[in-house]
A and B are shown apart, each in its own frame.
Chain A
């Protein structure tokens, strides 16, 4: 069971990293939990008590089918449903760029949870930079496949942008794990240039 759930997760390198970071027996909130893939794995592998938040009705149905508790809620309306410090970890995976107010959601994450875990697509990735620099066109990559005029990704940022926002909002970066598919070694050395994704663990300063 756990192996199969792990396999389901393997397409998303950021989720694999997040699953590894989260310790056993904690309570987590997964913002934009989708079909509940991460929560299902953590429930069975690490006895994690998880709660999902999802806006899509069909994904909620999938989550419930998988035995996951999920709350129908639009993250753009904030996390007012959730009390202070009610979770050990609050996860936001590849959703930050689609939010109206990513900065507010980040602040809310560390209010509701002791730590926030955020993964996002790094628009500073060199392939994206080349498209803009050489072709003079908005980047379209494997991770951001949408044309500029029709994309859910309205707030793309680079790793450097994200670090700056954290420092501005007095959010402490506890961990930073860049990932790239073919340039993993370089991603570790020059994340802002060679990482396609990055996972950050943040907390209140």
Chain B
């Protein structure tokens, strides 16, 4: 726990206790009440200019750094990046990370109880979008007294939310750090999401979402295994597993697992089932499918970015084939076409999409310097 944030206590913010205070959603429905589970690190300074909003990816949560208990096995999901003296330096900045709505780590989601019926929402939970997640986060910002944050920052789906902040609330984000992400989900990613959901929904234990004691473990772990492959790269898998066999020296000549890579995926699937909810997985992947900042401008990204005021740091990774480099370049082109400046780096990495969690040194340096410059700018006017 050296150089770490130490023990962090998760907090809750509940709003929308009356229909008037509900959260309006893109689908036309309203969600209330809404609980947001969040964690904060560091302190908001007197002028309120040092707040950074970190947004998590599909399987992430509000616990970005530090530990909840002394004997926690693992720290928060971006512990290398967030903490005292780290790129998101909690001695200097006030960091906020909240669980998305629709999630299953403390914020209101499909497994929450609908007060109107006294039962879990399950599949009656409204279909949410990335913009809905951001709208809920905005309520949290207001609650915390943050008028404008230094950055909205995140990787993968976190990057989509970071981008969405600049579209939904341009006056509220000085800059955006968008890592290994896209301005609109590609058909390839939509396809993977579809297969993942099919795996869950075809599990007999899923029960149209109304599972209780018996969870749709097979479906959810299959979805996770498939998704996990898309987070790696051919090179990374070769390096990590090669064609190594897991236990035996020879092939089993049956269909139990032989290879190390099979065993690894199986383990990842099992792990995931223990901490993630199948219905949440359906709702969150759907939210990603619908993400397209150019939807209102007929697919024209340049037009879509015309109202953007924030500054941008865009980062991609050379071996990321889920959100390939060209998708980051599209964001940069749209910004440049609007006369905006931006910083873009395509970090050389063999880790695939997961690089955003693993390339700590290079990414950390970029983030640390960019953040420092932005903070100086904020202080100077």
Contact = CB atoms under 8 A, between A and B. Distances in A.
B373 interface: yes
A132 to B, nearest CB: 38
A72 B341 contact: no
Given A51-B341, A81-B336, A61 B365 contact: yes
Nearest to A83: B337
Given A61-B366, A64-B366, A69 B336 contact: no
Nearest to B341: A69
A57 B347 contact: yes
Contacts of B348: 57
Contacts of B347: 57
B336 A72 contact: no
B86 interface: no
Contact of A72 (B339, B344, B376): B344
Given A86-B336, A86-B339, A60 B329 contact: no
Contacts of A9: none
Contact of B369 (A49, A61, A73): A61
Contacts of A71: 332, 336, 342-344
B334 to A, nearest CB: 10
A57 B341 contact: no
B271 interface: no
Contacts of A61: 345, 362, 365-366, 369
A57 B362 CA distance: 9
A146 to B, nearest CB: 24
B370 A81 contact: no
Contacts of A64: 313, 343, 345, 365-366, 369-370, 373
Contacts of B373: 64, 67
B346 interface: yes
A70 interface: yes
B interface majority secondary structure: helix
Contacts of A69: 341-343
Contacts of A60: 345
B186 interface: no
B332 A81 contact: yes
Contacts of B341: 49, 51, 69
Interface string A53-81: 00001001100110101111100000011
B268 interface: no
B230 interface: no
B205 interface: no
Contacts of A49: 341
A82 interface: yes
B263 interface: no
Contacts of B336: 71, 81-83, 86
Contacts of B345: 57, 60-61, 64, 70, 72
28 contacts: A49-B341, A51-B341, A57-B345, A57-B347, A57-B362, A64-B313, A64-B345, A64-B369, A64-B370, A64-B373, A67-B376, A69-B341, A69-B342, A70-B344, A70-B345, A71-B332, A71-B336, A71-B342, A71-B344, A72-B344, A72-B345, A72-B346, A80-B333, A81-B332, A81-B333, A81-B336, A82-B336, A83-B339
Give 3 nearest A-B pairs by CB, closest first: A69-B341, A65-B369, A67-B373
Interface of B: 313, 329, 332-333, 336-337, 339, 341-348, 362, 365-366, 369-370, 373, 376
